[in-house]
Structure 1
């Protein structure tokens, strides 16, 4: 089932965000450019107006002393007032207005003045009151319109580019989301293709690695379900047959027949117990109550518990344990770990083979222990066919059982165990501050190493 949010697609949201940012930048830039150009243009206009007034003052200086010249000068002032669109005055040195033409502008006024110099002396002033924004009717409106059109075109181009970039950014996300939906619908082979950039490739690689683990886990689960069903069905069938035969009087309810029924019930209980332990470990971590445990005694108890299996397989156990070796562990957890790992070694050993169990004190770095505090290393070695190197990293996964000769019981042709014994051992050791690893493997056998903290003088 696919759940879709009511929010717009991420590509559109990213694109709109980019467009909004660009429009904001364009607006600010447009306002700044408009102010700068407008101010500069007004300065140019003011300079031009002042220059025209200065030129007129120079022309007036020659004609003020002669009557004919005065008439031409007055005509010049009149034309100047008409051309400039404001009031132009000729003011004598004592402040008397000699001539005035035009009207003061009704809007904002800019005042100009230029001296009229004759024979090296200022004889009058040419003054003008002109419109302050006289040039805005032409250049500035056209400039602002051009700026607006350019901004709109740029914004449209940026919008298209933003949508393209947003799609490129979100394509890998859509690809991963699609692969996740297909994976959730049961298509375990669904994988993400990723993008050309490093981040998209990393995202796709991480998703694909997760999908690989899920696919592998599902494969192991399906295979284990079949094998566990067989492991449960076989002892159940034997138990039912034995009991039915005794009920029907076909065979006597003697010691041997009752022992066979008990053995079948024990095998059935062992499988159920392993499944129950795994379910408990997955629901919550194991809770350990560590105590100082005599390792030699714990290993001997495990040996006794597995005596029937070792006799059945024809495998001999050889112990080599340093005296007074104690570990700090939950006794029940340690017993279960030893039984699981030793049983695994027995199951993979050939008939007539040997499983060696060695224990010694080691330093925390793995070397020989020269003084406390120290750890204890337990090595359990079988003489089986070994584990292929490619399968070693998976050996502690739940339900994992090798497909090679090591994972198959030659007497039955079926895989050994339920595939969860080593998983449980790892979880139990982790709860007690220990660890387990494959130390050596090859055609000559496999060695599992268990490390646990030494108990020292802890009671």
Structure 2
């Protein structure tokens, strides 16, 4: 894979570089030729002007065109350059290139007037020479040197572009190859694999995200294994109890007394509760489509809930209070929110020792209603806090009946709150208590 990516990146960079180099070379070549052509034409015009001035001096020195000696024929004197012929004011040829069989067409020539003392005495006609014929040996050498320099610069630029493309391609392809290796390892179950030597760019951010994904997958895998063991434990214990009691009753070792039957019924209820919780979790993530959403004033709703659960708290000598900082109205499902609050208050009741206080706080934060349940219980260790909303996760690993539950209550809370469009967080200090905060969108006024 590395070679394929490397080749593609090199080809792309080199294609862009070569196209740029060729275009730049052509632009420089044409621009140079155009400027060189302009330079030569300027030289030719200056030469023609010099010839015209020389012809004016000849006219003035000899007193007219008719007095010129034959030695001044243009073909015999390099001074005249491309001069073809000269016409006087009567359109008569007074000078002409040697060997002309007939008078050339003046429209194909360059005409320049000849003035003496401000009066026009004739017209000089010069031939239009091809660009290549204007070049001297030095001009050709200069142009050849420039073209070779441009070609050499283009070749050197191409080589440097290839080296730069190779370095850039390796810099880009190496992290991609490393991430691909890590992803393949993760697919094979090696969740400890991580991307090393992350660059400080977008590829580095992608690699860091892949590392976080691997870490999350590892944690999820460990929680999955733990959940499987916990479910097996929570099912095995009541089933073993029911089986042993039934076998004992069949063998007439255990009497089928109301007390023993009541014990069996408790275990069946325990299994029924576990199955119901599992089913509720399975449905909670899609429950938002079945929620009966309606405007709900939280202050009277919480006051009624606190009043309803106060006898349970008083039985354990706990004080349950509602404190309203700001009233708030939300749009949510009353039954779902009741389930959320019952779970949170049940946990507070369960883990707060006798004589403690549990407070339900209602306030507002910008566009959200905030409901906080603060207890004075045993608290949650910092290592356990990030996982309290995971399925079957319990800080009490002994899983005894006194602490109760299957580790599903807070999972149900999280699923229901998120289904209502809100969020739930937990804060805790071991030995000082915990605070669970539910945030729900306020009903627009």
- Corresponding position: 1:408 with 2:397: yes
| Matches of 1:192 and 1:415, distance apart in 2 | 42
1:87–1:399: structure 2 CA closer, same or farther, 3 Å change rule? farther
Aligned residue among 87, 98, 101 for 1:91: 87
Q: Which residue of 2 aligns with 1:42?
A: 41
- Contact (CA 8 Å) 1:383, 1:446: kept in 2 or not? yes
String of CA shifts for 1:245-265, please: whole Å, max 9, x gaps: 223322122222112222222
- Corresponding position: 1:255 with 2:258: yes
1:338–1:241: structure 2 CA closer, same or farther, 3 Å change rule? farther
- Contact (CA 8 Å) 2:328, 2:369: kept in 1 or not? no
| Matches of 2:79 and 2:323, distance apart in 1 | 124
- Corresponding position: 1:383 with 2:377: yes
Q: Which residue of 1 aligns with 2:434?
A: 446
Pairwise CA distance, 1:425: 0.8
Moved more, 235-244 or 63-72: 63-72
| Matches of 1:83 and 1:408, distance apart in 2 | 114
Q: Which residue of 1 aligns with 2:320?
A: 320
String of CA shifts for 1:127-157, please: whole Å, max 9, x gaps: 3214142235864763556545544543443
SS at match of 2:224: helix
- Contact (CA 8 Å) 2:427, 2:436: kept in 1 or not? yes
Pairwise CA distance, 1:378: 5.6
- Contact (CA 8 Å) 2:340, 2:413: kept in 1 or not? yes
- Contact (CA 8 Å) 2:306, 2:320: kept in 1 or not? no
**TM-score (norm: length of structure 1):** 0.71
Q: Which residue of 1 aligns with 2:194?
A: 191
| Matches of 1:19 and 1:99, distance apart in 2 | 57
Pairwise CA distance, 1:46: 3.4
String of CA shifts for 1:44-92, please: whole Å, max 9, x gaps: 3433454356456646764677999713323xx22347984x5522333
- Corresponding position: 1:207 with 2:195: no
Moved more, 252-261 or 120-129: 120-129
**TM-score (norm: length of structure 2):** 0.73
- Corresponding position: 1:422 with 2:418: no
String of CA shifts for 1:352-397, please: whole Å, max 9, x gaps: 756654446x34249xxxxxxx96846352532x223454344334
Q: Can you give the 5+ residue segments of structure 2 that lack an aligned partner in the other structure?
A: none
| Matches of 2:257 and 2:125, distance apart in 1 | 140
Q: Can you give the 5+ residue segments of structure 1 that lack an aligned partner in the other structure?
A: 367-373
User: 1:37-116 maps to which residues of 2 (within 5 A)?
Assistant: 37-51=36-50, 54-55=53-54, 58=57, 62=61, 70-74=69-73, 77-80=74-77, 84=81, 86=82, 88-102=84-98, 111=110, 113=112, 115=114
| Matches of 1:338 and 1:444, distance apart in 2 | 21
- Corresponding position: 1:223 with 2:211: no
- Contact (CA 8 Å) 2:310, 2:320: kept in 1 or not? no
| Matches of 1:337 and 1:123, distance apart in 2 | 115
Moved more, 169-178 or 323-332: 323-332
Moved more, 253-262 or 386-395: 386-395
- Contact (CA 8 Å) 2:350, 2:403: kept in 1 or not? no
- Contact (CA 8 Å) 2:348, 2:358: kept in 1 or not? no
SS at match of 2:192: coil
1:25–1:391: structure 2 CA closer, same or farther, 3 Å change rule? farther
- Corresponding position: 1:396 with 2:389: yes
